[in-house]
């Protein structure tokens, strides 16, 4: 007479802790990876904040006139000589910005996909409308800025496109010709509005990721810092196109 195989009573109980432990380890790794991605986004974002502040300052040289603006542009090409070759500094800066852009965008896409997978149930009523609005604004605003960066490089750096058909060899004249075109100025101002909104929320998020918002006072300081920098940068960039279109900055 055959007997059915015996199953130890403790076998099932031993499996449960193993599965639970494996799940905890997996979740722990995922959490660490998410934190690392957020830190990469924060650090790469800080690189961009430093760049746009310096870039904004350079743009404001247009108020000093043709020669002052072009002298500044040429100085950037000569910066670091003779230790660096001509335009060497600009190429180092471009590589740093390109790496930062790739890191920033890649981390943002991965985090967005993880959040989407984790959100298996779509709630009919959202409890935090402000958080949802800010998240959507960061996502679509970031995409808008990415498209604008591509056009901006084609307009002033890589392709040097003069929409009025004029010369592209003179940085100041190219700037004036571009912003003297009303529709191009509107696109630029819209992009600056998106930049301001992106900075406002992004600076707050970066400071939160880096552990700089641990109490009410530091949170208030982070929000104020984000708002002030967003207004300064977006407003500073907007001044030149507005004054070109108004006829104050001319050739």
Q: Which of 68, 249, 246 is nearest to 176 (CA)?
A: 249
Query: Does 77 map to a domain?
Result: yes
Note the pLDDT of residue 28.
61
Which residue matches tokens 């929000």? 223
Note the pLDDT of residue 139.
81
Query: Does 27 map to a domain?
Result: no
- Digit-coded pLDDT (tens) for 150-159: 999 999 998 8
Q: Which of 145, 179, 148 is nearest to 162 (CA)?
A: 179
Note the pLDDT of residue 174.
96
Domain range for 143 is 34-119+129-245
Domain count, the chain: 1
pTM of this prediction exceeds 0.85: no
Residue 61 gets which letter from DSSP? Answer: G
Query: Does 25 map to a domain?
Result: no
Query: Does 26 map to a domain?
Result: no
Token pair in block for residue 98: 């390109």
CA distance 238 to 136: 24
- Digit-coded pLDDT (tens) for 100-114: 999 999 999 999 888
Note the pLDDT of residue 222.
93
Query: Does 42 map to a domain?
Result: yes
Q: 59, 152 in Cβ contact below 8 A? A: no
User: What is each CA distance from 247 to 59, 78, 251, in whole angstroms?
Assistant: 17, 31, 10
User: What is each CA distance from 213 to 55, 118, 200, 209, 220, in whole angstroms?
Assistant: 28, 25, 15, 8, 8
If one counts every other C-beta atom within 10 angstroms of the C-beta of residue 211, the result is 8
Query: Does 8 map to a domain?
Result: no
Query: Does 213 map to a domain?
Result: yes
Query: Does 51 map to a domain?
Result: yes
Note the pLDDT of residue 92.
96
Domain with residue 188: its CATH number is 1.20.1300
Note the pLDDT of residue 134.
62
210-213 long-range contacts, CB within 8 A, separation 24+: 210/39, 210/42
Note the pLDDT of residue 105.
93
Ordered per-residue pLDDT tens for the chain, 251 residues: 555 554 454 444 455 454 445 444 455 666 778 899 999 999 999 999 999 999 999 999 999 999 999 999 999 999 999 999 999 999 999 999 999 999 999 999 999 888 888 766 454 444 455 555 666 778 888 899 999 999 999 999 988 999 999 889 999 999 999 999 999 999 999 999 999 999 999 999 999 999 999 999 999 999 999 999 999 999 999 999 999 999 999 99
217: burial class by Cβ within 10 Å (0-12, 13-18, 19+)? exposed
């Amino acid at each position: 007479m055959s007997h059915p195989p015996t199953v130890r009573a403790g076998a099932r109980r031993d499996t449960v802790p193993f599965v639970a432990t494996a799940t905890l380890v997996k979740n722990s790794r995922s959490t660490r990876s998410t934190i690392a991605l957020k830190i990469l986004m924060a650090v790469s974002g800080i690189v961009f904040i430093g760049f746009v502040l310096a870039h904004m300052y350079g743009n404001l040289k247009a108020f000093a006139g043709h020669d002052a603006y072009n002298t500044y542009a040429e100085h950037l090409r000569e910066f670091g000589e003779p230790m660096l070759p001509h335009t060497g500094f600009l190429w180092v800066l471009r590589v740093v910005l390109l790496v930062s852009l790739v890191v920033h965008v890649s981390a943002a896409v991965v985090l967005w996909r993880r959040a989407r997978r984790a959100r298996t149930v779509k709630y009919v009523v959202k409890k935090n409308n402000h958080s949802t609005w800010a998240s959507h604004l960061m996502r679509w605003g970031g995409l808008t800025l990415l498209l604008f960066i591509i056009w901006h490089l084609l307009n002033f750096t890589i392709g040097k496109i003069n929409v009025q058909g004029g010369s592209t060899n003179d940085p100041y004249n190219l700037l004036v010709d571009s912003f003297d075109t009303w529709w191009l100025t509107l696109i630029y101002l819209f992009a600056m509005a998106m930049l301001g909104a992106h900075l406002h929320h992004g600076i707050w998020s970066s400071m939160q990721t880096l552990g700089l918002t641990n109490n009410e006072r530091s949170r208030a300081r982070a929000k104020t810092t984000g708002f002030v920098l967003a207004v300064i940068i977006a407003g500073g960039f907007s001044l030149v196109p507005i004054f070109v279109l108004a006829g104050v900055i001319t050739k």
